[in-house]
């Protein structure tokens, strides 16, 4: 008999009743160190006082109002994002995949309005993930995500990740945009080196194609900069954001330059809940916390500390791990043992990690993780690795 919850997930036998900072707590009181943060969502950990206050204060006043009216919280968050980034304008969504939908529509509408209606192709890469909507799965293109779901949204081309020559050869008169994650998340924490992102930007400039960055996972301070592309010193034309921006409240956004967004006039797009007062009040509180030099410096310091300890862990357990990779507090351990065995051994030792492609386990802790918690993380990962070795 089919479970009452549609069984599209292989769920671990864990069930949490409370979250506190970097910790998740089960009903029996067992405390897990959370190095997954809801897959990079709880960027400020669980029940951060500033976010609890922003949400409950807003909840006392107004939960929902249609986008037919002015929404001051939405205006405030858009202003913050425009001020902090390349963007001139922002549309709010409830999720990352909805941001993908709009990013694709925006790029196509741009060329349509420029009198090049055939310029609709989006070039994307192997190992990418852009969510589970029709545009998201067509963009990622993997058999795992698309098989059985009938005709896919047309107009996507797929190239090998980091194959610049193939990209140069593939861009033609029908290419609307290049779409990529500066650090692939689901694909196994695979960063694009800065010089390669710079070269792709230059290629887009030379050919006129738009550059769409998916920073749903690597954005919002996770890389140690507000957005990961800042490390390369470039800017995209369109950027997808979600996950960390809501700190656990469902919130996403598409950020764009004035030029790239020029086709999106009144009536061309919409969302009932996108940019609602609750989400945007929380988003403003998240920005207040994350978008400061002190906070981002701390992310980089903690990244260095965690990374160094993880190098030691890998060296001590060569039968379990192969390498550490990633950026900021978006780190991956490529495993030699099956990654799910390592994740499961983590559960036994009360530490949560997240599996990814390429036999990787992801560490995406709250950005507020303390130095003591980093030490505790290593103790627990050590125990998990030893358990895998002796199994």
The residues binding ligand PLP (CB under 6 A) are: 95-97, 129-131, 181, 185-186, 214, 216-217, 242-243
In whole angstroms, the minimum distance from the beta carbon of 158 to ligand PLP comes to 16
Site of tokens 């979600």: 242
In whole angstroms, the minimum distance from the beta carbon of 87 to ligand PLP comes to 18
Residues counted in the chain: 391
In whole angstroms, the minimum distance from the beta carbon of 214 to ligand PLP comes to 5
Nearest to ligand PLP of 130, 157 (CB atom): 130
In whole angstroms, the minimum distance from the beta carbon of 34 to ligand PLP comes to 17
How is residue 91 written in tokens?
């549309």
In whole angstroms, the minimum distance from the beta carbon of 153 to ligand PLP comes to 15
Q: What is the 3-state secondary structure (H, E, C) of the chain?
A: CCCCCCCCCCCCCCCEEEEEECEEEECCCCEEEECCHHHHCCCCCECCHHHHHHHHHHHHHCCCCCCCCCCHHHHHHHHHHHHHCCCCEEEEECCHHHHHHHHHHHHHHHHHHCCCCCCCEEEEECCCCCCCCHHHHHHHCCHHHHCCCCCCCCCEEEECCCCHHHHHHHCCCCEEEEEECCEECCCCCEECCHHHHHHHHHHHHHHCCEEEEECCCCCCCCCCCCCHHHHHCCCCCEEEECHHHHECECCEEEEECCCCCCCCCCCCCCCCCCCCHHHHHHHHHHHHHHCCHHHHHHHHHHHHHHHHHHHHHHHHCCCCEEEEEEECCEEEEEECCCHHHHHHHHHHCCEECEEECCCEEEECCCCCCCHHHHHHHHHHHHHHHHHHHHC
How is residue 160 written in tokens?
């090998």
In whole angstroms, the minimum distance from the beta carbon of 232 to ligand PLP comes to 17
Nearest to ligand PLP of 220, 298 (CB atom): 220
Chain centre to alpha carbon of residue 203: 25
6 burial via Cβ count (<10 Å: 0-12, 13-18, 19+): exposed
Nearest to ligand PLP of 127, 277 (CB atom): 127
Nearest to ligand PLP of 40, 337 (CB atom): 40
In whole angstroms, the minimum distance from the beta carbon of 250 to ligand PLP comes to 8
Nearest to ligand PLP of 215, 373 (CB atom): 215
In whole angstroms, the minimum distance from the beta carbon of 215 to ligand PLP comes to 8
How is residue 149 written in tokens?
């779901």
Nearest to ligand PLP of 36, 96 (CB atom): 96
**End-to-end Cα separation, the chain, in angstroms:** 34
Binding residues for N(2)-acetyl-L-ornithine: 132, 271
Binding residues: 96-97, 129, 132, 214-217, 271-272
Q: In the bound complex, which residue of the shown chain has the CB atom lying closest to ligand PLP? A: 96
Nearest to ligand PLP of 345, 353 (CB atom): 353
How is residue 313 written in tokens?
């862990």
Nearest to ligand PLP of 363, 388 (CB atom): 363
In whole angstroms, the minimum distance from the beta carbon of 136 to ligand PLP comes to 6
Binding residues for pyridoxal 5'-phosphate: 96-97, 129, 214-217, 272
Euclidean distance between CA atoms 34 and 374, whole angstroms: 11
Nearest to ligand PLP of 225, 243 (CB atom): 243
């Amino acid at each position: 008999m089919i479970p009452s919850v549609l069984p599209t997930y292989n769920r671990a036998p864990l069930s949490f009743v409370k979250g506190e900072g970097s910790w998740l707590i089960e009903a029996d009181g067992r405390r897990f160190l959370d190095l997954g943060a809801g897959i990079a969502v709880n960027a400020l950990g669980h029940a951060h006082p500033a976010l609890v206050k922003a949400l409950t204060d807003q909840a006392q006043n107004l939960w929902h109002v249609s986008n037919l009216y002015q929404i001051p919280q939405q205006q405030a968050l858009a202003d913050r994002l425009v001020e902090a980034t390349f963007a001139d304008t922002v549309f709010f969504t409830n999720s990352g995949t909805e941001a993908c939908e709009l990013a694709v529509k925006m790029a196509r509408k741009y060329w349509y309005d420029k009198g090049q209606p055939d310029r609709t192709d989006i070039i994307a890469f192997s190992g990418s993930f852009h969510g589970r909507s029709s545009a998201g799965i067509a963009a990622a293109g993997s058999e795992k995500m698309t098989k059985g779901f009938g005709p896919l949204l047309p107009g996507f081309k797929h190239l090998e990740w980091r194959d610049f020559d193939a990209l140069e050869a593939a861009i033609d008169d029908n290419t609307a945009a290049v779409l990529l994650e500066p650090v692939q998340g689901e694909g196994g924490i695979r960063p694009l080196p800065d010089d390669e992102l710079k070269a792709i930007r230059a290629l887009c400039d030379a050919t006129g194609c738009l550059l769409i960055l998916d920073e749903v996972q690597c954005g919002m301070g996770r890389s140690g900069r507000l957005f990961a592309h800042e490390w390369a010193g470039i800017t995209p034309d369109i950027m997808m954001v979600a996950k960390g921006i809501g700190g656990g409240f469902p919130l996403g956004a598409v950020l764009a330059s004035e030029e790239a967004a020029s086709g999106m006039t009144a009536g061309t797009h919409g969302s009932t809940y996108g940019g609602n007062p609750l989400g945007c009040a929380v988003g403003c509180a998240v920005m207040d916390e994350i978008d400061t030099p002190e906070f981002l410096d701390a992310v980089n310091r903690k990244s260095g500390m965690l990374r160094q300890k993880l190098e030691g862990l890998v060296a001590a357990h060569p039968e379990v791990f192969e390498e550490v990779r990633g950026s900021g507090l978006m780190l991956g351990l490529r495993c030699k043992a099956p990654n799910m065995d390592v994740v499961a051994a983590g559960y036994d030792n009360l530490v949560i990690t997240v599996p990814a492609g390429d036999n990787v386990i992801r560490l995406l802790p709250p950005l507020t993780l303390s130095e003591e918690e980093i030490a505790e993380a290593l103790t627990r990962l050590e125990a998990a690795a030893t358990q895998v070795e002796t199994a």
